[in-house]
Chains A and B, each alone.
Chain A
């Protein structure tokens, strides 16, 4: 079974530039997450989708970050304009999101390592 795919794997940009990340979750997984992981810290949830609807985006800096999941499958995360503090690994994860179960294991993609200069 194919895992969660992310691209690009690495990106270097200058501050104030724009960048976009792409994620393709495991087939059939209804829930998709974007996390930001700064070096030495645990992943921090940015946004969570259930199918193509947003469940939680309370920690997404909406003045510069945006995300969409059209058709409930692939997702893109965009930063515009980037700041130095956005340097981090951006992880996409997916889970079945089956209602009635307390927990659905999350499967993570390899991440996109962003460096903002």
Chain B
């Protein structure tokens, strides 16, 4: 089993739709979780951290389910500019981060 697993997609959704991605992780001792965004041919950039209680940043909501060992990202009211690859990242040790394969999102006009 991979340490961090994501559905690679692509997820094709119309503008204004709500879309959700899940990411599962294998190390139950992981403490920190994040979503990064990567645009085509660009470097990854931090989108948001994922807190135990769940957190929201505008149209984006992140949730953590420790019992089932997954994190999720919900995007409401999708914009064309949300088209990108969303990388799930899990802390695997001191300052060590394990990246998932990424989920591609295409928001269609």
Neighbour of A103 across the interface among B8, B32, B42, B100, CB < 8 A: B32
Interface assignment of B45: CB less than 8 Å from any CB of chain A: yes
Count of inter-chain pairs, beta carbons less than 8 A: 51
Neighbour of A55 across the interface among B43, B96, B99, B100, CB < 8 A: B96
B95: chain A residues at CB < 8 Å are 31, 48, 50, 55, 95, 97, 104
- How many residues of chain A have a CB within 8 Å of chain B? 25
Interface assignment of A91: CB less than 8 Å from any CB of chain B: yes
B94: chain A residues at CB < 8 Å are 55
**Chain B interface extent, by class:** 20 to 34
A42: chain B residues at CB < 8 Å are 4, 6, 87, 99-102
Known: A35-B99, A42-B101. 6 other contacts (CB 8 A): A41-B101, A41-B102, A43-B87, A50-B95, A55-B94, A102-B31
Interface residues of A (CB under 8 A from B): 31, 33, 35, 40-45, 48, 50, 55-56, 91, 95, 97, 102-106, 108-111
Interface residues of B (CB under 8 A from A): 4, 6, 8, 31-32, 34, 42-46, 49, 87, 91, 93-102
